[in-house]
Amino acid sequence: MPETMSIAKARDAGAIGSQVILRGWVRTRRDSKAGFSFIELNDGSCFGNIQIIAGGELDNYESEVKRLSAGSSITVSGTVKESPGKGQATELQAEEVTVHGLADVETYPLQKKRHSFEFLRTIAHLRPRTNTFGAIARVRNCVCRSIHGFFQDEGFLYIHTPIITASDCEGAGEMFQVTTLDLANPPKKGPEIDFAEDFFDRPTFLPVSGQLDAEVFACSLGKAYTFGPTFRAENSNTSRHLAEFWMVEPEMAFFELDDNMDLAERFLKRIFRDVLDQCPEDMEFFNKRIDKTVLETLQGIVASRFVRLPYTEAIEILKNSGRKFDFPIDWGTDLQAEHERYLTERHFKCPVILYDYPRTIKPFYMRVNDDGRTVRAMDVLVPKVGEIIGGSQREERLDVLQERMAEQDLNAEDYWWYLDLRRYGTVPHSGFGLGLERVIQFITGMANIRDVLPFPRTPGSAEV
Ligand code: 4AD
Ligand code: MG
């Protein structure tokens, strides 16, 4: 009985001599004058295709095999042979080819020539059939597995935080509202909409972060992480912003800022190492076709130590750089992408963990330093992408936290449960958030964040 096999396995020399069944989508078909055809087949199990030799003796050679083109789907059974061709260990001598579906050459959008990523975004339902998007899907899968592997190995509990929330974690007000009210005719209380009539008896939103809920579990069970979709209604049309993205957020009781930085550095190195080990063929492709520095960069990072730099010193470096930035920089202003990139690409040429930011530019939950002006924030910055991690030690002192909330015009009553964590058995604790798409962008060298997830959501765009 032939074995149903993945193309990844059939491409390995170990498969030579096996009777196998392969299934997948045709990339190309070439006919030889000698009366047979070469079919390049891909099934998503690996970057490479397998070459299939389909001879004129097949019953359906003239009627079907010779009509196969890019995008057609087939099942082939046959024998794996050693390939005389270069760059491949094996090929398949077909004994039977079943055609599931042809793809009209006139209308199938993915023909041989290279398409722009902009064009491919308009056919998000077909772009996973290209080399680039297949490779991204496999790298993304590998990163997710690595994320769970890392935290499980470190003794963290995986928790699920809600997709509907009443609190604005980052306090920036960039939230999508969730409501069942009739928008054409909402209930009113005076001139205002009466959200007491809404499904949850209050205004609710999609979360910008799962951090506050993760803190609940860290402050009860020690170490927890949440990993899920987060949403931001910020109208920024940049190559690093999405309206819907995935974030992994660990939260650890008894961790101070240094422990938090150590964990973040160990975590990123584990992800990079796993991708280098588990996706060599995909990474070769990115290195060759997308960005010639990605392999060297990742290998370098795995072997080096991240720079750790207080915000105040970073401002000095930027001011003394002699550079004219589009956004002028001074103590108290937030760093823009151009500043982050200067530090990581020009000055240090490696990842940088910036910490101790001014309290005025960071959210209420970050722990205030003794100087009163800065908070125990940390951002991990990398070349090209800029910030991939944002985190902090959390404010565990009830009075200071209340003061910070008042300072940022937050209503303490809305956060009564969060304040309770400080009221009953408070502990020093810390955590951070890694943007999944940002880390995949960094690993693959893809220029636009819209091209590292299956179906990007950005302002004005939510089709497929
Ligand atoms: O720095 P941010 O806003 O931090 C938080 O939300 C914290 N509550 C996390 C925590 O401490 N648990 O976001 C964290 C990371 C950023 O560093 C970035 O990688 C990513 O999330 N991110 C985005 N990725 C894509 N599109 C956007 N619009 C993003 N906004 C943030
Ligand atoms: Mg941030």
List the chain residues with pLDDT less than 50.
Answer: none
Residue nearest to atom 20 of ligand 1 (CA): 435
260 lines ligand 1 (CB under 6 A): no
432 lines ligand 1 (CB under 6 A): yes
Give the Cα separation of 242 and 231 in Å (integer).
8
What CATH architecture applies to the domain 3-101? Beta Barrel (2.40)
212 lines ligand 1 (CB under 6 A): no
Residue nearest to atom 1 of ligand 1 (CA): 390
Q: For residue 104, what pLDDT is reported?
A: 96
Residue 232 CA: nearest ligand 1 atom is 28
The answer for residues whose C-beta is within 8 angstroms of residue 155's C-beta and 6 or more apart is 223
Q: For residue 167, what pLDDT is reported?
A: 86
Q: For residue 79, what pLDDT is reported?
A: 97
CA of 434 to the centre of ligand 1 (A): 6
Q: For residue 463, what pLDDT is reported?
A: 80
CA of 189 to the centre of ligand 1 (A): 36
Give the Cα separation of 44 and 6 in Å (integer).
9
Q: For residue 87, what pLDDT is reported?
A: 85
Residues of the chain with CATH 3.30.930.10: 128-172+208-451
CA of 146 to the centre of ligand 1 (A): 19
CA of 222 to the centre of ligand 2 (A): 24
Q: For residue 34, what pLDDT is reported?
A: 92
Ligand located closest to 432 CA: 1
CA of 325 to the centre of ligand 2 (A): 20
What CATH architecture applies to the domain 128-172+208-451? 2-Layer Sandwich (3.30)
Q: For residue 464, what pLDDT is reported?
A: 82
Residues of the chain with CATH 2.40.50.140: 3-101
Note the pLDDT tens digit of each residue in 407-433.
999 999 999 999 999 999 999 999 999
